[in-house]
Amino acid sequence: MNLFIFFMLTAMFILLLPIIMSNTQLYKNNLYPHYVKTTISYAFTISMIPAMMFVSSGQETIVSNWHWLSIQTLKLSLSFKLDYFSIIFIPVALFVTWSIMEFSMWYMHTDPYINRFFKYLLMFLITMMILVTANNLFQLFIGWEGVGIMSFLLIGWWYGRADANTAALQAILYNRIGDVGFITAMAWFLANMNAWDFQQIFITQHENLNIPLLGLLLAATGKSAQFGLHPWLPSAMEGPTPVSALLHSSTMVVAGVFLLIRFYPLMEHNKTMQTLTLCLGAITTLFTAICALTQNDIKKIVAFSTSSQLGLMIVTIGVNQPHLAFLHICTHAFFKAMLFMCSGSIIHSLNDEQDIRKMGGLYKPMPFTTSSLIIGSLALTGMPFLTGFYSKDLIIETANTSYTNAWALLVTLIATSLTAAYSTRIMFFALLGQPRFNSLSPINENNPHLINSIKRLLIGSIFAGYLISHNIPPTTIPQMTMPHYLKLTALAVTITGFILALELNLAAKNLKFKYPSNLFKFSNLLGYFPIVMHRLPSTMSLTMSQKSASMLLDMIWLENVLPKSISHFQMKMSTTVSNQKGLVKLYFLSFMITLTLSLLLLSFHE
């Protein structure tokens, strides 16, 4: 009997304390952000203890505290599942959140509602923790909806801006469509397996699990912005940068992937679902990488990069490697959050300038941000032995050597090279060259909050991959032997992407093109997807319902079907068929002459 459960539950309870304190005087003074940040750092330290216990002994726990209610034969209780996935994810998430909280103490310093901002971020973190430690689908759904609500509140933080409100609403709507899939899965599990607990679901044998798995895939599509339900993620960049760093890169958007990873015992026997997942992830990663190539807002490029990496995680689940996907979630959190924080640093220093065409030459004035941006981008693209390498390269190797869909594999490789291309684009436009911004903004990065937070994530981006992947218990055996050209595939396509992008950027640096080409327009307008899909289905359904409500009964059935159609038809027919000229009197005269003539002729017959 060790203190595993105690430490874990203490860590989570500590997170609740600032929320409980929000009615007291503590919430009103300006040390509250500091308090929240320290709380999270303590929670991180305490949660590292169970993590190290797990690493050394492989102990997993399920904590079932409180029996909430029983609905006939369904028992709902408060139940925490502290297994491989939760125990490793919680310290990573807390570490990244700690850095983001410290960063937002600098970024949101002049905001009058900064205490509320921190409270919202903390509530988001708590609901995310509920999501990852849930042992039954009901608790997971509570966390799922909670992160959705907090996302809405945080994206619309600057609610005076109309774009922010529409972006928040868009996030809620797209997530709702995914929730339909989630509830389908819950209903199916309830009806067929009489349980929402993972243990019972995984034990019960069922021949055809397509319906709930499709529902879960739809839920992941909604929450993790896969193709078809993806436009909310770039629009969510309307929120403040700490929100983008926490929610829409490290934590919330991986909730969908996390859900699919949780259900891996069901998915590993269902080839159809794996193919679907693979193709969905492949098309997402390629499409969003293409869209990222021509965006001009630095946060949008990083948002599309997140979307592309999420597609890569879904591809990994599709090749039946959930543990690798989880590793990629953990490593991705580090460098993606850092990329967002560096973007925030640049944006603030240039007086809220987000367009990369108006940045440039930040290499000398902001050396720390420059170096962390470059290291983050290199980690993202999978530079050997940085963080991203340990997960991304393994994913590509596994996909290359498995019996999988060749199109999906090819598309993933192309997307990997495009990752390098748009990362080069960010670095080229934001950091290199001559400055293109107004010269009067004071550029400095000498605030310790900024420096320390980015520094922590920097250390994480360099070393976390090594540390995590060498300390986790082995789960699936990675492919050890493969031909050398397969082994070097990821590196080769990445280097190709880098070189190509650098050459193109340098060659076209001062060229201006008059008319954008069709491919450019496709990429810049996000594949025309939001333009078409936000207007066309709604217009069509509203028009159709208006027409059927007002015109169907009255105009069509009562007026047009019999009366007008008969008259119209008759008129058409008569004008088509008749070849008469309307000389009525002549016709009558011919009657009479015929009559008289015949009478006369016939009466004088013998």
Partner 1 sequence: MSMVYVNMFLAFIMSLMGLLMYRSHLMSSLLCLEGMMLSLFIMMTVTILNNHFTLANMTPIILLVFAACEAALGLSLLVMVSNTYGTDYVQNLNLLQC
- Nearer residue to partner 1 within complex by CB, 71 or 584: 584
Shortest distance (Å) from residue 606 CB to partner 1: 22
Shortest distance (Å) from residue 572 CB to partner 1: 10
- Nearer residue to partner 1 within complex by CB, 584 or 601: 584
- Nearer residue to partner 1 within complex by CB, 23 or 576: 576
User: What span, in angstroms and rounded, lies between the C-alpha atoms of 15 and 484?
Assistant: 48
User: What span, in angstroms and rounded, lies between the C-alpha atoms of 217 and 267?
Assistant: 11
- Nearer residue to partner 1 within complex by CB, 585 or 605: 585
- Nearer residue to partner 1 within complex by CB, 407 or 591: 591
- The set of residues, in sequence order, having a beta carbon less than 8 Å from that of 155 and lying 6+ positions away, is 164, 167, 168, 171, 236, 238, 239, 243
- Nearer residue to partner 1 within complex by CB, 553 or 589: 589
CA distances from 497 to 304, 417, 443, 598 (A): 17, 4, 31, 102
Give which of 87, 104, 105, 2 is closest to 48, Cα–Cα. Answer: 87
- Nearer residue to partner 1 within complex by CB, 113 or 588: 588
- Nearer residue to partner 1 within complex by CB, 531 or 583: 583
User: What span, in angstroms and rounded, lies between the C-alpha atoms of 284 and 282?
Assistant: 5
CB distance 209 to 184 below 8 Å: no
- Nearer residue to partner 1 within complex by CB, 514 or 581: 581
- Nearer residue to partner 1 within complex by CB, 357 or 572: 572
Shortest distance (Å) from residue 582 CB to partner 1: 4
User: What span, in angstroms and rounded, lies between the C-alpha atoms of 420 and 500?
Assistant: 9
Distant-in-sequence contacts of 398-403, Cβ < 8 A, 24+ apart: 398/316, 398/319, 398/321, 398/324, 398/478, 398/479, 399/315, 399/316, 399/319, 400/482, 400/486, 400/489, 401/479, 401/482, 401/486, 402/319, 402/320, 402/479
3-state secondary structure of 63: strand
User: What span, in angstroms and rounded, lies between the C-alpha atoms of 509 and 432?
Assistant: 11
Shortest distance (Å) from residue 540 CB to partner 1: 37
Shortest distance (Å) from residue 594 CB to partner 1: 10
CB distance 353 to 437 below 8 Å: yes
- Nearer residue to partner 1 within complex by CB, 474 or 582: 582
- Nearer residue to partner 1 within complex by CB, 528 or 591: 591
Shortest distance (Å) from residue 561 CB to partner 1: 21
CB distance 81 to 199 below 8 Å: no
User: What span, in angstroms and rounded, lies between the C-alpha atoms of 428 and 418?
Assistant: 15
- The tokens of 317 are what? 């689940």
- Nearer residue to partner 1 within complex by CB, 548 or 596: 596
Shortest distance (Å) from residue 595 CB to partner 1: 8
User: What span, in angstroms and rounded, lies between the C-alpha atoms of 20 and 120?
Assistant: 13
- Nearer residue to partner 1 within complex by CB, 158 or 588: 588
Give which of 114, 109, 139, 135 is closest to 126, Cα–Cα. Answer: 139
Dihedral (Cα; 7, 12, 15, 17), 10-degree rounding: -80
137-155 and 114-132 helices cross at what angle (nearest 10)? 160
Shortest distance (Å) from residue 581 CB to partner 1: 7
Q: What are phi and psi of 120, to 5 degrees?
A: -65, -45
Q: In 10 A of CB 309, how many CB atoms?
A: 30
Taken in order 514, 518, 522, 525, the sign of the CA dihedral is positive
Q: Are strands 61-71 and 74-82 parallel, antiparallel or unpaired?
A: antiparallel
Give which of 396, 395, 378 is closest to 462, Cα–Cα. Answer: 378
- The tokens of 422 are what? 């748009």
What residues line the site for partner 1 (CB under 8 A)? Answer: 571, 574-575, 578, 580-585, 588-589, 591-592, 595
- The tokens of 130 are what? 């509920």
Shortest distance (Å) from residue 586 CB to partner 1: 10
Shortest distance (Å) from residue 599 CB to partner 1: 10
Shortest distance (Å) from residue 222 CB to partner 1: 59
Shortest distance (Å) from residue 234 CB to partner 1: 60
CA atoms within 13 A on the CB side of 577: 6
Shortest distance (Å) from residue 597 CB to partner 1: 13
| 452: exposed, middle or buried (Cβ count in 10 Å: 0-12, 13-18, 19+) | middle
Q: In 10 A of CB 75, how many CB atoms?
A: 17
Shortest distance (Å) from residue 532 CB to partner 1: 45
- Nearer residue to partner 1 within complex by CB, 480 or 601: 601
Residues facing residue 63 across a β-bridge? 80
Shortest distance (Å) from residue 591 CB to partner 1: 5
Q: What are phi and psi of 63, to 5 degrees?
A: -110, 120
